[in-house]
Each structure stands twice: as structure tokens, then as C-alpha cells.
Amino acid sequence: MLIKNILLNKGTEVYYVAPDDTVYEAIEKMASKDIGALLVLEDGKLVGIITERDYRSKVIIKGRSSKTTKVEEIMSTGLYCVKPSEKVETCMALMTDRKVRHLPVVEDDDLKGIVSIGDLVKAVISKQKVEIHNLRDYITGTYPR
């Protein structure tokens, strides 16, 4: 299974903030969308990501104010991006190795979407359910011949 298949199912809508937005605005948007991360775009270009983890580690723990701290002050840069043609298993390994939960999907400098570890796990589980169903049918003799 490829990342482009996941984007076909989940959609390509990307929620984002600007670097000069406040962290409070970003967290408010995450809460309203029930998501754990927002991409940071400047003039339509991907420049970072802000996650719940960034908020915890760089605002709450440090005693900063989310209403006065700008996204650019705490966002993560140096993103790990993947192409739509990447395999789900490869992306899961990348997420595990790099300890990230979200991967922007980019092709030819064009942002195509974002996938989370939850999206990847859901895709793997769905694929396994189909394989289990087919194996049961094969074992019981009901598999198409």
C-alpha cells in the first residue's frame, strides 16, 4: 500500500497556521479540528510543523504564554517529508526511527497532504483484515477459483 492510497481515502485537506500566528491560535485550531498537529506555511511554502508535543515541551514546561508566543518560536523545522509513491511500511519505519507522528506528503515542492501514524496504522489494519478474510475463505474452500 502506498501513501497516495491513504490520501485518496482520507483526503488531501491540510490544516495549517502561519509562523506569526500565536501558539494559542494554533492550539485552538487543533482543538476545533480534533487533530494533533498543524503544518506551518509561509507564503504557501512549508516551513515547519507545530504539534501537541511542541506545545507541551516548549510552552507549558517552560512556563511560556501561548497567547504571546509565536508559532515560529516553537515550531519544528527540518521536516521529514515523503512522496505519494512511498510505501506505508517505509513511512512507519521512518516515523519510528525519527520519533515523529506526522509526515507531510510533498511532490515536486507541492504539498499533497499529511499522514499521521494513526492513518498508517488504520491502513495496515484494514489491509490485514482483507488478508485474514481471504485466508479464511481459502481454508474453508469458499475462496473464488
pLDDT, average across residues 83-103:
96
Task: Tell me the per-residue pLDDT of 17-40, one tens digit each, with 9 for 90 and over.
Answer: 999 999 999 999 999 999 999 999
Confidence of residue 91 (pLDDT cuts 50, 70, 90): very high
Q: Identify whether the C-beta of residue 55 lies closer than 8 Å to the C-beta of residue 64.
A: no
Rounded mean pLDDT, 56-62: 94
Q: What is the pLDDT of residue 144?
A: 67
- Enumerate residues 6+ apart whose C-beta is below 8 A from 37: 30, 49, 50, 51, 52, 101, 102, 114, 116
State which fold the 3-140 domain adopts: CBS-domain (3.10.580)
Q: At 130, is the pLDDT very low, low, confident or very high (cuts 50, 70, 90)?
A: confident
Question: What's the pTM?
Answer: 0.85
Percentages helix, strand, coil for the chain (3-state, rounded to 5) are 45, 25, 30
Highest mean pLDDT range out of 89-93, 123-127, 134-138?
89-93
User: Given this model, what pLDDT does residue 143 score?
Assistant: 64
Q: How confident is the model at residue 135 (pLDDT cuts 50, 70, 90)?
A: confident
Region 70-89: mean pLDDT is 96
* Pure H helices in 34-116: 52-55, 71-74, 88-98
Whether residue 2 contacts residue 92, with contact meaning beta carbons closer than 8 Å, is answered with no
Average pLDDT score, the chain: 93
